[in-house]
Amino acid sequence: MKESGDGVVDATGDDAEVDVRRQLIDAATVEFARNGFAGASTRAIAIRAGAHQPQINYHFSSKEALWRAVVDDLFSQLGSFLEPEGTFDDPVDEFRQWVLGLVLFSAERPELSRLIMHEAASYNDRMNWLVDTFARPFVDRRDRVWAELKARGLTADIDDLLAESTLLGATTIPFALMPHVERIHGPVDFDRAMLERHAEGLVRAFLPGLDG
Amino acid sequence: MKESGDGVVDATGDDAEVDVRRQLIDAATVEFARNGFAGASTRAIAIRAGAHQPQINYHFSSKEALWRAVVDDLFSQLGSFLEPEGTFDDPVDEFRQWVLGLVLFSAERPELSRLIMHEAASYNDRMNWLVDTFARPFVDRRDRVWAELKARGLTADIDDLLAESTLLGATTIPFALMPHVERIHGPVDFDRAMLERHAEGLVRAFLPGLDG
DNA sequence: AGAAATGGTTATCAATTGAACAAATTGATG
DNA sequence: CATCAATTTGTTCAATTGATAACCATTTCT
């Protein structure tokens, strides 16, 4: 338990003991996503985690480091929603799986989009770290698939530089802004089938060439 | 100059005197959009405006009130980019003008989208006020047009409840997240013609029936 | 001229912030 | 039992926060 280096589970098998580090990350995920980095206080995070505020500086070196641990955790979860590179022969299949994965992930874990939205509105170190460490590989792959689809004449006629963020906005924003949506339309709930249908609709919208 | 009620310009014609209230709103727009409500300090806003911090509480009653004045100002600017209701006979024309207007506005003034993104990630009073006071009429009109287009079989097959926010995300997010985009692709600059072409691409993507 | 009003300036307030420190506790090992 | 490292807990600190009050300068009206 003390050594978290190798992922060996506590030999006692008694996981009634909570992992404070884990609890802190989960609580921080909620607070950072809701209020942004500046708006989230370490005390609020600690209370939500059922811990004491100084434990944040013990288990993580600083509030910044806790924020990075949260982003790390969220991107790792996102990875499990997306098929690894090289899985598909057909770029259309790859595109379809990417859109579906992003829609399903955003619906289940809107925190990552919200966290990015808080940071990506300005030029700052946290945003740069996030982009360089995690976002760039995702974006590069996306752009490569988009270029291949465009070469085949399948893509919507939108600006290449904006294609990536346009797709990102279309797939994730509805879920990231769900409080806004629900304020207008009332409580909303989606089952898997609806999300799959919605994702397929997005694919057809951005790849009109499929119907041609 | 003291009475800003009727838009009469200072009779002296000397407008080297700056309108502090105006300067504060402009400075607050930048700070709130970059750092969110909690992350923006009244001192930073005052410094950017070339004013003193207590002047914020003099010209506005509170930081909240200043934030609301900023939103009010931004929505008023948005209004000038959108054609008034009843201008169009054809819902396709109305949709096209709405998409174009939103794209042009977001490219020129990404602050409104950023400000909304900061607030709409959580249920809070500022977001509720923003939705009830400004967003609802825009959304209602958008939904009405979308329903009309759908009845004519022109729309992409995406979920009705998500259509509004999906459109919003696709049209505004690329510009709201421009720091993120530029971190990846390097400096980006768009001229009016490129934006018009991009907007038309979005229209065709979301109204595939137009090509049928 | 004198009073009133408007707005700018300085100083200060209580509250909250992230972080640091030391004492207390825990659990395992010799 | 004694020892030691790993955590937890309680307290404290300097910095920053939004807001307020007191004071000063200028203009406006009587």
Could you report the per-residue pLDDT of B118-163, keeping only the tens digit for each? 999 999 999 999 999 999 999 999 999 999 999 999 999 999 999 9
Partners of B131 on chain A (C-beta within 8 Å) are 180, 183-184
Residues by Cβ under 7 A, strand D: A 1-4, 20, 51-55, 58-59; B 2, 40-44, 53-54, 56-57, 61-64
DSSP characters for chain A?
----SS-PPPTT--TTS--HHHHHHHHHHHHHHHHHHHH--HHHHHHHHTS-THHHHHHSSSHHHHHHHHHHHHHHHHHHHSPPTTS-SSHHHHHHHHHHHHHHHHHH-THHHHHHHHHTTS--HHHHHHIIIIIHHHHHHHHHHHHHHHHTT-S-S--HHHHHHHHHHHHHHHHHTHHHHHHHH------HHHHHHHHHHHHHHH-GGGG-
Residue A9's pLDDT is 34
* B162: chain A residues, CB-CB within 8 Å: 174, 181, 198
What is the radius of gyration, based on Cα positions, of chain A? 19
Q: What is the model's pLDDT at position B10?
A: 36
- The pLDDT of residue A104 is 98
Identity of the residue numbered A151: A
The bases of strand C with some atom under 7 A from any protein CB are 6-11, 16-22, 28
Å from B60 to nearest chain A CA? 22
State the pLDDT confidence band at A6, using cuts at 50, 70 and 90.
very low
- Among B120, B166, B194, beta carbon nearest to A170: B166
**Cα A167–B74–B55 angle (5° rounding)?**
135
With a cut of 70, say whether residue A14 has pLDDT above it. Answer: no
pLDDT, position A1: 36
Does the pLDDT of residue A13 top 60, yes or no? no
Stretches in chain B below the pLDDT threshold 70: 1-17, 212
Residue A211 pLDDT: 82
Report the pLDDT value the prediction gives residue B13, as an integer from 0 to 100. 34
The pLDDT of residue B15 is 39
Q: Do B158 and A194 touch (CB under 8 A)?
A: no
Mean pLDDT value across residues A79-91: 95
Q: How many angstroms separate the CA of residue B45 from the nearest CA in chain A?
A: 16
Q: Which pLDDT value is given to residue B23?
A: 97
Asked whether the beta carbons of B77 and B33 are under 8 A apart, the reply is no
Contact A116 B180 (CB under 8 A): yes
**All domains of chain B, ordered by start, with CATH?**
20-64 (1.10.10.60), 82-211 (1.10.357.10)
